[in-house]
Amino acid sequence: MKSITWKSSLVATCFIFPTFSLSLHGRADPLGLISERGVTVNDPLVRSNSDGSDSGAPTEAGGSSKYVFAHFIVGNTYPYGVGDWIMDMQLARKAGIDGFALNVGADYWQASKIADAFNASLSIAPIFKLFFSFDMTSLPCSGSGDADALHSYISEYHNHPAQLVDDSNRMVISTFGGEYCTFGQGSLNAGWEYAVKQGMPSTAFIPAFFGSPDNFQNYPVMDGDFYWDGGWPLDDSSISFNRDQAQINGVGKLGPGKVYMAPVSPWFFTHYGPDSYNKNFIYKSDNHLYASRWEILVQQRDKIAIAQIITWNDYGESHYIGRIAGAQPDSQAWTDGFDHTGWLEATRYYTEAFKTGVYPVIREDRVILSARPHARDADANDPVGRPTNWQWTDDYLWALVFATAPGVITLSSGSNSQSYNVVGGVSKLQLAQGEGGVGAAMSRNGENVYSFSPTGFSFTLHPSSYNLNAYVAAGP
């Protein structure tokens, strides 16, 4: 692709894949685990100036700025007020997330929640950025009048300080689906031109269409691509960048100056019966999916404009990294008690590496444990039935170890226990699960560093229902 020079409020650089102008000054208060390039600060992962203050701005490495957004399901926010949005935005900012991609559906009440989100963003310094991801599995798109909802959101928020824009001041817009939409215009391309371009404020349209990237050249309305399905292996294999590369090749056929937005996700499990959403399956989430995918994105960062985390709060599909809040979509059976915020510590580490091209120096010994609650082969008296693809997962306790120096870590799951020598840095470990609780202990030079046994979790061989969600805990 042609090299494109984009202006920035931070720096001006020349690189292959353009990025977006975001004012990120004043990022502060994060989690307390890691700092970069050997600088000791209270915040674990935020770089510091020589006076110890947070610089706030992303460091340039490899010739481009990089940004991280999290996909946020507005449909799960019915009880939310402005304070709830502020809480989520503060937590996300602490994890190195620059903004939310707002998944907007057809519910009439979502408009008021979106207004709350934009108002809340102004309370975060720097302003927490937002852009729309129109959920076309919810919003109608066959007739010309169906575009009215999109026109309304675009017109109302295109000048809002929190709205993400590219360096040409174009309002960034995305979708979930929509490859079948025509908006009464006779074709996909004409339909989306009508919905997000014609007579509208200038937009940069980066949809998540499901279909072959070979067809992108037929859709010049696209200013880039977000490949939703790239966040997981879609079969019993390990995560890779191969399918992303095919998407990038398709983006290249759109012409110069187009962008690729890459997904990253920690998990996938959904368990709805025929009487509701009728989806009951997993994608393979073993082998430290979240960390492994982030490592791929760091390695391939020169090809990526934005990394989008799937998701902040999609409880129904178990890939949330935020707190469990709002209104769950009848997913309580497999999400209640299954906190995922431990993954925010990993998020902070990897977002810093993705943005800067340099992995942070670890300043505190920590461990993130994740595990499923029951044996893969267990039989349960569950009317929904055994999830499709259940055989793609294995019964392991997964441990992501952040070590300041070499040491020994001992993992336990029920009666199973094993010790591992770890180096300074990040180690990805696994232990066969046994019936009972889980734990981790670290020693160094014969001295105990920590002992961590999270409460509220126990692995069983005899579940009453199927639950292939992950329990996640960070400690000590």
Q: Which amino acid is at 264?
A: V
| Pairing relationship of beta strands 306-309 and 361-362 according to DSSP bridges | unpaired
What's the confidence (pLDDT) of residue 96? 97
Residues forming beta bridges with residue 262, ordered by sequence position:
307
Q: Which residues pair with 163 in a beta bridge?
A: 130
DSSP alpha helices (H): ranges in 253-331?
289-299
Side-by-side strand order, sheet with 99-104 = 203-205, 171-176, 129-135, 99-104, 67-73, 306-309, 259-264, 224-226
Rounded Cα–Cα distance for residues 34 and 95 (Å): 11
pLDDT for 65 equals 83
Structure tokens at 415: 């009666």
**369 close to 438: Cβ distance less than 8 angstroms:** yes
Mind giving me the DSSP string for 390-459? GGG---EEEEEEEESS-EEEEEEETTEEEEEEE-SEEEEEEEE--SB-EEEEEEETTEEEEEE--SS--B
Residue ranges and CATH numbers for the domains of the chain are 4-362 (3.20.20.80), 366-475 (no CATH)
List per-block mean pLDDT (blocks of 10 residues) for the chain, which spans 476 residues: 28 28 31 30 28 30 72 98 98 98 98 98 95 99 98 98 95 98 98 98 98 96 98 97 98 95 99 96 98 98 98 98 96 97 96 96 97 98 97 98 98 98 98 98 97 95 98 96
d(CA 329, CA 271): 11
Degrees, nearest 5: CA angle 139-327-142:
5
133 contacts 176 by C-beta, under 8 angstroms: yes
SS3 category, 200 = coil
